[in-house]
């Protein structure tokens, strides 16, 4: 039965890729709601394949076609295998990729682990915004399989980028091309992770500022945050909204009473046991799995559609920072557009902005390295 499930997941993923590519070549001009996305980007992909022209940022489509031709299919099959048993892998990989790209670019620095060597240096994984991230073991597993086929060739950064895209496809999200050729960072950036990853309690001004630092405008910010339509959100991140909003000792007054009660029941956590959320030096070194097991979580959704925006319009966003998208006209108008659409506008825009994010400040050429074990730089492997 397990083999059957894996086969079905792989067929679904492959079918989704083929359909997306065929639409880009044959149908996009007759489907106005797709706004030409596939035509714009996938036609460029075909041109890349035909001319073998390297992109200005050093990435290329099917970068490993000569050095490791089966790399992408290995990633695809392993993500499908895991998805067949754990459908929440899509949200985990997507969040892991976002947190990686938002700190010094898409370089797999988020995966580096301080469990070996000098523990006086914190890593990104230990930063407060990253303490509930999952999926590190998945990337390690996929990397091991790729290493068997092509030792020392395919970067962890590329594996994470490809796996995140394939996870999006498996959960019903849109296809977007992933250019490859990234190299891995040799260091992790704890301080930058603390300062530059958007805070779930942040107001709209702060959220827009942090996204703008990465080159994203208001519409792109709204599109990217639509990734919260799948997966689960730790109750740690909404606890203050439920019991002590902005230190008032009261819940966030913007939350409808019925929704407040629903979240409190789902989280099942006594607010008397809450803390100030500031990690001590000791707690920073707790294993991610141990930290996550101590927390309860609440589902943000299972389908990759526009229900996230519809909930925001009804004031039922889980995170304060998400609900804040309705607090400013610069973002609220895009939330309304997505909420009232049939979902195609969001999917098109999400694919566009994911393609952009996947190329943020990448390391290429002789920069960085290609790790053989994703959690450790080469000199520590």
Dihedral of alpha carbons 126, 90, 10, 350, sign: negative
DSSP 302: S
Phi, psi of 188 (to 5 degrees): -110, 160
Nearest alpha-carbon partner for 217 in 317, 81, 334, 57: 334
Q: Label residue 370 exposed, middle or buried (CB < 10 Å: 0-12, 13-18, 19+).
A: middle
Q: Compute, in degrees rounded to 10, the torsion defined by CA atoms 99, 104, 109, 111.
A: 0
How far is Cα 358 from Cα 252, in angstroms, rounded to an integer? Answer: 35
CB atoms within 10 A of CB 322: 23
Beta bridge partners of 301: 231
Residue 72 tokens read as 């992408």
Sequence-distant (≥ 6) Cβ neighbours of residue 331 within 8 angstroms: 204, 208, 218, 221, 222, 325
Round to whole Å and give the CA distance between 194 and 210: 12
Among residues 95, 106, 168, the alpha carbon closest in space to that of 346 is found at 168
Q: What are the φ and ψ backbone dihedral angles of 331, each rounded to 5 degrees?
A: -110, -30
What long-range pairs does 275-279 form, CB within 8 A, spacing at least 24? 277/128, 277/236, 277/240, 278/128, 279/128, 279/131
Helices and strands (H, E) in the chain, number of each type: 16, 2
Known catalytic residues? 99
């Amino acid at each position: 039965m397990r083999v059957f499930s894996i086969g079905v997941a792989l067929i679904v993923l492959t079918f989704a890729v083929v359909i997306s590519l065929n639409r880009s070549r044959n149908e996009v001009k007759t489907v106005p709601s797709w706004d030409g996305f596939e035509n714009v980007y996938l036609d460029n992909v075909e041109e890349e394949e035909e001319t073998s022209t390297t992109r200005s940022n050093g990435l290329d489509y099917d970068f490993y076609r000569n050095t490791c031709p089966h790399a992408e299919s290995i990633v695809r099959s392993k993500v499908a295998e895991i998805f067949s048993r754990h459908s929440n892998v899509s949200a985990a990989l997507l969040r892991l990729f976002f947190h990686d790209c938002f700190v010094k670019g898409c370089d797999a620095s988020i995966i580096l682990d301080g469990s070996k060597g000098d523990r006086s240096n914190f890593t990104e994984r230990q930063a407060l915004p990253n303490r509930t991230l999952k999926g590190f073991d998945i990337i390690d597993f996929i990397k091991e399989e790729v290493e068997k086929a092509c030792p020392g060739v395919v970067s962890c950064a590329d594996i994470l980028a490809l796996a995140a895209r394939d996870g999006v496809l498996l959960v019903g999200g849109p296809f977007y091309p992933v250019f490859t050729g990234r190299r891995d960072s040799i260091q992790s950036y704890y301080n930058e992770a603390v300062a530059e990853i958007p805070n779930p309690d942040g107001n709209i001004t702060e959220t827009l500022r942090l996204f703008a630092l990465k080159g994203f405008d208001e519409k792109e910010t709204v599109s990217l945050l639509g990734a919260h339509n799948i997966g689960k959100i730790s109750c740690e991140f909404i606890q203050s909204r439920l019991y002590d909003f902005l230190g008032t000792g009261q819940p966030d007054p913007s939350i409808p009473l019925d929704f407040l009660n629903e979240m409190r029941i789902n989280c099942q956590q006594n607010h008397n046991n809450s803390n100030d959320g500031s990690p001590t030096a000791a707690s920073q070194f707790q294993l991610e799995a141990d930290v996550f097991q101590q927390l309860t979580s609440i589902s943000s959704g299972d389908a990759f559609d526009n229900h996230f925006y519809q909930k925001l319009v009804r004031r039922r966003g889980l995170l304060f920072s998400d609900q804040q998208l309705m607090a400013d006209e610069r973002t609220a108008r895009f939330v309304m557009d997505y909420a009232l659409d049939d979902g195609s506008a969001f999917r098109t825009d999400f694919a566009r902005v994911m393609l952009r994010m996947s190329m943020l400040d990448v390391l290429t050429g002789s920069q960085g390295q290609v790790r053989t074990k994703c959690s450790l730089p080469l000199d520590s492997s």
